[in-house]
Chains A and B, each alone.
Chain A
Amino acid sequence: MRRMSWFNVTSLTFGLAFLYLPMLLLIIYSFNESRLVTVWAGFSTKWYGELFQNEAFLDAALVTLKVGFFSATVATVLGTMAAWILVRGGKFFGRTLFSGMIYAPLVMPEVITGLSLLLLFIAIGMDRGVMTIVLAHTTFSMCYVSVVVSSRLVAFDKSMEEAALDLGCTPASAFFLVTLPLIAPAVLSGWLLAFTLSLDDLVIASFAAGPSSTTLPIKIFSSVRLGVTPEINALSTIMISIVAIGVITASLVTKQAIARAKRDEQKAIQDG
């Protein structure tokens, strides 16, 4: 095993502290008794209680989840199709334009994407609400999904699909019986990414949302503009915990899967 130099240990420690201390402080002070968020006045969970009493927050959370679910699902379907076209589609009319439109939203400033979508919705006379947020989120997150899925498709052994065709599959059944099960992990992480991006988005949602539909980030933003509040700390703690539990579980599952694959391989070598 390689020994870590003191320099490397220090940079890792400081780097990780820099990444995690702010969130840690937020979590700690969400259990603060006092409304003055920066002065510790004893342990309390009362802000969580108040948070769950606050219907405006709960409504916004519901809207956010709804938008996240629908936009992530549509984005996953469209993004997977787009990835397949980019990797396996061959040449077609407007291919350069298509791949440009897939990659451009990834680097586009959110203010511009938001502004342009809002102007579109107004131009075609579409009422702004949950529907317009879903449309907006689907548009940019399908591009992320297609990047994730196409990186898997590129690594994917094309002869798998050919073998399926060779053994009598139609192109459609080859996709559903062979390709899809094998790229499923990428499709799933594409969905999760799209869902997270949707939950997280403030700027595009503020442009696309109407007065009647407020998402959680919009709600949080309008209250934190004025300053730090303990309810928001409590809400942040809940959101951070959900993500942390999700990511850690996912990485443990992957780690186990890798370990199992290694064991299997060793066994195969011994048997062979």
Chain B
Amino acid sequence: MTSTDAAAVPADFAPWENADEKPLIEFQNVTKRFGDFTAIDNLNLQIYEREFFALLGPSGCGKTTLMRMLAGFETPTEGTILLGGQDMAPIPPNKRATNMMFQSYALFPHLSVADNIAFGLKRDGIPKADIDARVDEMIRLVQLGQFAKRKPHQISGGQRQRVALARSLAKAPKLLLLDEPLGALDKKLRQETQFELMDIQEKTGTTFVIVTHDQEEAMTVASRVAVMDHGKLIQVDTPAGIYENPNSTYVADFIGDVNILEGHAAKSDAGCQITWAEGQPAINSNCGTDLSGKVHFAIRPEKITVSADKPTDKPNVLQGKVHDIAYLGNISTYHVRLSNGQIIKAQSANNRRLSRRSFTWEDDVYLSFTDTAGVVLAE
């Protein structure tokens, strides 16, 4: 990294693309088994300094185990985890330069907000004046000035979340681990807090690893997202990369809404053609790699245009009937039934008033999309 200013992250922050960059954390062929159950399956991963890295997946996919291995609460059955080039295995949790923010917050109920934040500093035998200064700084950072003397049960859920964050940041860890940090907050507060988290991460320059099952949260906060399933990494990429170029139907389906059509691909002049159902026109797409044979075509609903008149300028046009309309205020999702019974979801922004919509239930409509709108996937 070239920038010397700790508070600024360059816009083109992408150390994972730089082959010379040394990763902060490196998982090398890590496997973790609990009895017969394999929680982490021969996993390799690099996380770089100052990243905001999200581990995303359904419950039981191994994301929490991965995080607990970083914190030192679990040891790998096989393989090594390096932090700054050093093998972490022999280092107990209390000696690691990592701190964790727990899903339940795990605030000590018998200690005040300030004492909770000071807890870790006191363990290091820092002079009292320094501890007080650091606690003050943390309390200011999370804007809890007036609550310093209160006990955890005397503050609200959102405030508790900030105390937990301040406590885990107080020791200025090289790496902060956040286990579903916003899971206990309601939706509105969660969205506000996501931006605060990003702010704090930028201000402190700490590397954050967050575990979440909420894909929206992962997309919002993270510089890179790792989608996990059954102890394996399915895809590691930037949020945009994951959304636009999923490498599998699993990822495409897990992140956001998607239509998945099963078919056979064959080379054509403009790319490839996918025949997918009898009586339906083949889909023209620019298959990225040399895919042929059985494939899946994944396309996001917002990339499909719904119209009453047949569009002439689009390479792909399908015809169907409006089966259902989900009105969400800003957008509407149309469920369109094709003649073969397949339902396709299409989304459009409601930029006109509802009464001026030119089609409704049971109307014949056309669905159209470009040849770059979807992705062709092997599985």
Binding site for B on A (CB under 8 A): 157, 159-160, 162-170, 173, 177-178, 181-182, 261, 264-265, 267-269, 271-272
Contacts and interface: CB of A to CB of B under 8 A. Distances in A.
Chain A CB within 10 Å — which of B154, B158, B167 has the most? Answer: B154
B100 interface: yes
Interface in B72-110: 72-73, 92-96, 98-100, 102-104, 106, 108-110
B156 interface: yes
A264 B104 CA distance: 20
B73 A167 contact: no
Contacts, number: 80
B153 A182 contact: no
A7 B248 CA distance: 66
B120 interface: yes
B153 A264 contact: yes
B242 interface: no
Contacts of B155: 268, 271-272
Given A159-B104, A159-B106, A166 B94 contact: yes
B158 A272 contact: yes
B269 interface: no
A169 B123 contact: yes
B154 A162 contact: no
Given A160-B108, A265-B153, A272 B94 contact: no
Contact of A168 (B124, B156, B157): B124
A177 B154 CA distance: 21
A166 to B, nearest CB: 5
A163 B159 CA distance: 18
A167 B173 CA distance: 10
A182 B151 CA distance: 14
A190 B378 CA distance: 63
Given A178-B108, A181-B110, A173 B103 contact: no
A162 B108 contact: no
B153 A261 contact: yes
B71 interface: yes
Contacts of A170: 94
Contact of A264 (B72, B100, B123, B154): B154
A177 B96 CA distance: 20
Contact of A167 (B109, B119, B157): B119
B102 A162 contact: yes
B224 interface: no
A36 B100 CA distance: 73
Contacts of B72: 165-166
